[in-house]
């Protein structure tokens, strides 16, 4: 292991152990490293960092609190502050940006923006702010395929997402309001003999003409004939898929995608904004070739999967003698096994599998808001990727590590026991006992909570999690966090234990595990919605009765979350560890 990594891991492990009674949490320590040192987010380096953290924690778990404090006192100032100064990354400059720039966001409203779309949004916003330009929000709401249909609520959800991310746009535009302009330029394209109406069946056109680089019979028909056919399309004389308008790029082009692509097609489905006013709709490439010019766009920023669209747009600009705009690309981003598809999410919502667009499995911005993901964390995560054509597989753990920096300082702590089982404790020597954990371990000025343990004739009952029950060994000592040490007597059927001692030092000397607990009688029912859609039921300490909707909290040794509802039961959307 490198000396630097070992020092970083040891520093964060010591600080974490200090917060949690001498027991460091490996995931939390690794999260801090990933959040403050982006160079360790590479999958291979992250794996090595995780191994180093595990080795370091085994050493620290054997230390007393006094020894941990002594080690912390020797740490450099940047670790005392628990963060490394972040170097501000500058993205590469734009070409031809010595004049006023105008850029655009072009979301298709088939659903809200998801984490994958955030890159397009934040990068455009960054450059517009950097060059003091203008950003247009242009809803690309032309009717497309039946699979990719418009969701009426998506218009407002997209605006909500932009507001949350701090993206300021200067004007809102709807493509569906600009169809007449597209019709006008389609007619001009036909008049200039750079477009024609084709009535070949689609499969025949592909198999007979496109694959063989041969022109179809309609390609050389007279301009007047094409204009008449165009009017017939507009008048509804043709049904869907019976006629299209094609650009006359070249049937012998080396790129099959450039062989006379479709620019206009018939779609008679009703549009949520304009109804059935229009029955002929432009395809993306022609629509944007026209509007990017008419709207005065100077720079276009989009994924490299749209390079084909670039080529078609440039061809149209050249035919109309329009300026060629600056186009920048970035590589594709994937999120492991996450399925980032609005069409898929819509089907899951309609079938009742997902609860709605804020279901955590959609990874929509709305779902991230529900989970307590801060906009600055999303922006920092996206900006850390820079602007590169290299494809990236992004691990959500990196986003979690960054977000933790923002929510950890504001999240009060609570006890929570998932999937609770009853533990019976006997031979308690005190008539009254209570735990007094800090509301926030790094902010003692906020005070402490009191979690009282009801005791009757030397016995008491508490809830502990089923996972802790599974790890219990008969005869072993465990510590109920911030309360006392107990000896396990039975675990088959009922779970029984007896009081051992109160001192934390006793538990530390034998490296006893520390487990969460809540009283049997004074608790609150809580449900936690996890990122995979499962619902975990459990019990929280009585102070959870005072939680407020939208409050961000941390359940100790479980994770962060955001309060979604407080009645009849408390429901938390899980954020991350």
Question: Residue 324's pLDDT band (boundaries 50, 70, 90)?
Answer: very high
The beta-strand segments (E) located in 276-353 are 280-282, 299-303, 326-330, 333-334
At residue 472, does pLDDT exceed 70? yes
At residue 225, does pLDDT exceed 80? yes
What digits encode the pLDDT tens for the residues 352-370? Answer: 999 999 999 999 999 999 9
At residue 88, does pLDDT exceed 80? no
Mean pLDDT, residues 457-480: 96
The token duo for 320 is 């109309």
CA dihedral 418, 420, 426, 428 (to 10 degrees): 30
The 8-class DSSP code of residue 93 comes to P
Q: Check: CB of residue 122 under 8 Å from CB of residue 383.
A: yes
Query: Average per-residue pLDDT in the chain?
Result: 92
Question: Residue 3's pLDDT band (boundaries 50, 70, 90)?
Answer: low
Mean pLDDT, residues 39-53: 84
Question: Cα(504)–Cα(483) distance, rounded to whole angstroms?
Answer: 9
C-beta contacts of 22-28 below 8 A and 24+ residues apart:
22/60, 22/61, 22/63, 22/64, 22/65, 22/68, 22/504, 22/508, 23/61, 23/514, 24/57, 24/60, 24/61, 25/557, 25/577, 26/50, 26/53, 26/54, 26/57, 27/577, 28/577
| Residue 59: partners with Cβ closer than 8 Å, 6 or more residues away | none
**262 pairs with which residues across the strands?**
246
Question: Cα(395)–Cα(405) distance, rounded to whole angstroms?
Answer: 17
Give the residue ranges of DSSP H helices in 355-395.
Answer: 365-370, 375-383
Q: With b meaning 16 or more CB within 10 Å and e meaning fewer, what string describes 241-274?
A: eebbbbbbbebeeeeeebbbbbbbbbbeeebbbe
What digits encode the pLDDT tens for the residues 473-505? Answer: 999 999 999 999 999 999 988 999 999 999 999
| Of 5 and 526, more confident | 526
Query: Residue 128: is the preceding peptide bond cis (ω within 30°)?
Result: no
Question: Residue 85's pLDDT band (boundaries 50, 70, 90)?
Answer: very low
At residue 87, does pLDDT exceed 60? no
Question: Residue 86's pLDDT band (boundaries 50, 70, 90)?
Answer: very low
| Of 40 and 310, more confident | 310
Mean pLDDT, residues 278-292: 96
Mean pLDDT, residues 277-296: 97
SS3 532: coil
Question: Residue 25's pLDDT band (boundaries 50, 70, 90)?
Answer: confident
Question: Cα(370)–Cα(164) distance, rounded to whole angstroms?
Answer: 12
Going from the N-terminus, what domains does the chain have, and what CATH number goes with each? Answer: 3-85 (no CATH), 411-577 (2.40.240.100)
Burial class (CB in 10 A: 0-12, 13-18, 19+), 416: buried
At residue 84, does pLDDT exceed 50? no
**Per-residue 3-state assignment (H helix, E strand, C coil) for 44-57:** HHHHHHHHHHHHHH
The reported pLDDT for the residue numbered 80 is 57
Q: Check: CB of residue 281 under 8 Å from CB of residue 270.
A: no
The reported pLDDT for the residue numbered 130 is 95
The reported pLDDT for the residue numbered 83 is 44
The reported pLDDT for the residue numbered 101 is 96
What digits encode the pLDDT tens for the residues 105-138? Answer: 999 999 999 999 999 999 999 999 999 999 999 9
DSSP assignment of 463-484 equals: EEEHHHHHH--TT-EEEETTTE
- CA 550 from chain center: how many Å? 18
The lowest-confidence range among 67-71, 167-171, 178-182, 451-455 is 67-71
Question: Residue 21's pLDDT band (boundaries 50, 70, 90)?
Answer: low
The reported pLDDT for the residue numbered 78 is 65
Mean pLDDT, residues 549-556: 97
| Of 74 and 423, more confident | 423
At residue 189, does pLDDT exceed 90? yes
Strands 413-414 and 552-555: parallel
Q: In what helix (H) or strand (E) does residue 538 lie, and over which residues does it extend?
A: strand 535-541
Mean pLDDT, residues 436-465: 95
What digits encode the pLDDT tens for the residues 139-185? Answer: 999 997 777 899 999 999 999 999 999 999 999 999 999 999 999 99
- CA 90 from chain center: how many Å? 23
Angle, CA of 448, 466 and 17, to the nearest 5°: 45
The lowest-confidence range among 31-45, 324-338, 515-529 is 31-45
């Amino acid at each position: 292991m490198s000396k630097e990594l070992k020092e970083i891991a040891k520093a964060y492990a010591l600080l974490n152990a200090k917060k949690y009674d001498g027991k460091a949490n490996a995931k939390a320590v690794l999260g801090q490293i990933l959040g403050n040192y982006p160079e360790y987010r590479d999958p291979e380096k992250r794996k090595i960092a995780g191994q180093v953290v595990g080795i370091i924690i085994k050493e620290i778990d054997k230390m007393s609190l006094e020894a941990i404090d002594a080690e912390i006192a020797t740490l450099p100032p940047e670790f005392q502050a628990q963060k490394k100064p972040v170097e501000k990354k500058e993205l590469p400059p734009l070409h031809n940006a010595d004049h006023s720039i105008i850029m655009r966001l072009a979301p298709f409203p088939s659903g809200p923006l998801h984490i994958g779309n955030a890159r397009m949004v934040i990068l455009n916003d960054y450059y517009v702010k950097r060059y003091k330009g203008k950003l247009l929000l242009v809803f690309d709401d032309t009717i497309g395929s039946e699979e990719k249909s418009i969701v009426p609520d998506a218009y407002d959800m997209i605006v909500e997402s932009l507001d949350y991310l701090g993206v300021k746009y200067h004007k809102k535009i709807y493509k569906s309001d600009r169809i007449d302009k597209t019709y006008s330029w389609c007619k001009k394209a036909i008049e200039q003999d750079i477009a024609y109406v084709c009535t070949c069946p689609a499969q025949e056109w592909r198999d007979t003409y496109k694959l063989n680089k041969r022109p179809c019979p309609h390609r050389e028909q007279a301009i007047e004939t094409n204009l008449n056919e165009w009017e017939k399309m507009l008048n509804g004389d043709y049904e869907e898929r019976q006629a299209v308008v094609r650009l006359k790029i070249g049937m012998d082009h080396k790129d099959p995608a450039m062989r006379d692509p479709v620019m206009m097609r018939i779609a008679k489905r009703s549009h949520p904004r304009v109804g059935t006013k229009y029955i002929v709709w432009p395809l993306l490439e022609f629509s944007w070739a026209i509007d990017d010019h008419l709207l005065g766009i100077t720079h276009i920023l989009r994924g490299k999967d749209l390079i084909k669209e670039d080529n078609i747009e440039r061809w149209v600009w050249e035919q109309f003698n329009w300026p060629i705009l600056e186009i920048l690309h970035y590589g594709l981003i994937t999120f492991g096994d996450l399925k980032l598809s609005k069409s898929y999410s819509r089907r899951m919502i309609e079938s009742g599998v997902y609860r709605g667009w804020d279901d955590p499995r959609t990874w929509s911005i709305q779902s991230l808001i529900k989970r307590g993901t801060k906009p600055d964390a999303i922006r920092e995560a996206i900006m850390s990727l820079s602007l590169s054509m290299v494809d990236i597989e992004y691990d959500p753990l990196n986003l979690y590590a960054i977000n933790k920096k923002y929510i950890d300082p504001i999240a009060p702590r609570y006890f929570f026991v998932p999937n609770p089982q009853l533990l019976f404790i006997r031979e308690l020597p005190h008539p009254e006992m209570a735990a007094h954990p800090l509301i926030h371990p790094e902010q003692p000025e906020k005070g402490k909570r009191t979690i009282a343990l009801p005791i009757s004739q030397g016995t008491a009952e508490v809830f502990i999690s089923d996972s802790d029950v599974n790890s219990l060994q008969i005869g072993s000592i465990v510590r109920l966090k911030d309360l006392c040490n107990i000896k396990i007597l039975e675990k088959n059927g009922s779970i029984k234990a007896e009081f051992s001692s109160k001192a934390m030092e006793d538990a530390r000397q034998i490296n006893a595990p520390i487990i969460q607990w809540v009283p049997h009688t004074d608790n609150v029912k809580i449900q936690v919605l996890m990122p995979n859609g499962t619902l975990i039921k459990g019990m929280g300490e009585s102070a959870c009765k005072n939680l407020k909707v939208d409050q961000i909290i941390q359940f100790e040794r479980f994770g962060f979350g955001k309060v979604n509802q407080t009645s009849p039961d408390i429901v938390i959307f899980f954020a991350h560890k």
